A and B are shown apart, each in its own frame.
Chain A
Amino acid sequence: KQEVTQIPAALSVPEGENLVLNCSFTDSAIYNLQWFRQDPGKGLTSLLLIQSSQREQTSGRLNASLDKSSGRSTLYIAASQPGDSATYLCAVIKAAGNKLTFGGGTRVLVKP
């Protein structure tokens, strides 16, 4: 059974500092990995998707890496801003059934 873990559970940084969020998964037979952002009481916004054949994806200040063999992904957010404060969730999917398995999330606070 796939298990996804995110460490740390919470993170507080001063504005301008780079953020590093970690995600690990137990079964390396994944089809892709997706990073989401969730604001309090809201739905999920898709940030980046990395296919199993890829090593990284970039979008603006966001960069996500994937090491499938070691079961790890890292989301980097450069030059953090207070507007980056949110919970960040990673999720993996196996092709069969299209089911997403989520990690517990990392709650980020960027202090002005």
Chain B
Amino acid sequence: SAVISQKPSRDICQRGTSLTIQCQVDSQVTMMFWYRQQPGQSLTLIATANQGSEATYESGFVIDKFPISRPNLTFSTLTVSNMSPEDSSIYLCSVSTNRVLEQYFGPGTRLTVT
């Protein structure tokens, strides 16, 4: 398994601003992912964070809105840009560490945009 931490745990932001969320893992991992969970909904994959190259985004998510960095095998950031109230969600990072592709999740960042 892996121990994953996220910062901040929650934030309240004004529309039009940007927030960067950090994800730190206690060991080197190959795969890191970013998910969004809108209120009352299940999880939706935003992108796969690739070490040393551009992230791979899912349909409906674009780099200008959700830029992602992954400078090494233990750390990634997700920025939510030019926020609107519709961006109010829990944002979670996850990692896959073993050959059976089991995924482990961080505690999440609860974002409220006013």
Which A residues have a C-beta under 8 Å from some C-beta of B? 31-32, 34, 36, 41-46, 49, 51, 89, 91, 93, 95, 97-100, 102-105
Is B102 an interface position by the 8 A CB rule? Answer: yes
Contacts known (A43-B107, A44-B92, A51-B100); A102 close to B43, Cβ less than 8 A: yes
Roughly how many angstroms separate A17 CA and B105 CA in the complex, as a whole number?
Answer: 29
Say yes or no: A98 contacts B92, CB within 8 Å. no
Q: How does the 8 Å CB contact mask read for B77-114 relative to A, with 1 for contact and 0 for none?
A: 00000000000001010101000111111111010000
Which B residues have a C-beta under 8 Å from some C-beta of A? 1, 6, 31, 33, 41-45, 48, 56, 58, 90, 92, 94, 96, 100-108, 110
Q: How far is the CB of B55 from the nearest CB of chain A, in Å?
A: 13
Residues from chain A with a CB closer than 8 A to the CB of B1 are 46
Say yes or no: B110 contacts A98, CB within 8 Å. no
Residues from chain B with a CB closer than 8 A to the CB of A99 are 45, 48, 58
Q: How far is the CB of B49 from the nearest CB of chain A, in Å?
A: 12
Partner of B108, one of A42, A51, A102: A42
Closest to B102 in A: A49
Residues from chain A with a CB closer than 8 A to the CB of B110 are 41
Roughly how many angstroms separate A106 CA and B88 CA in the complex, as a whole number?
Answer: 22
Roughly how many angstroms separate A34 CA and B98 CA in the complex, as a whole number?
Answer: 14
Main secondary structure of the interface of B (DSSP, over half): strand
Q: How far is the CB of A73 from the nearest CB of chain B, in Å?
A: 15
Closest to A95 in B: B101
Q: How far is the CB of B44 from the nearest CB of chain A, in Å?
A: 8
Say yes or no: A31 contacts B107, CB within 8 Å. no
Residues from chain B with a CB closer than 8 A to the CB of A51 are 100
Residues from chain A with a CB closer than 8 A to the CB of B58 are 99
Say yes or no: B106 contacts A89, CB within 8 Å. no
Roughly how many angstroms separate A97 CA and B108 CA in the complex, as a whole number?
Answer: 22
Q: How far is the CB of A82 from the nearest CB of chain B, in Å?
A: 22
Roughly how many angstroms separate A50 CA and B1 CA in the complex, as a whole number?
Answer: 16
Say yes or no: A46 contacts B42, CB within 8 Å. no
Q: How far is the CB of B10 from the nearest CB of chain A, in Å?
A: 9
Q: How far is the CB of B24 from the nearest CB of chain A, in Å?
A: 14
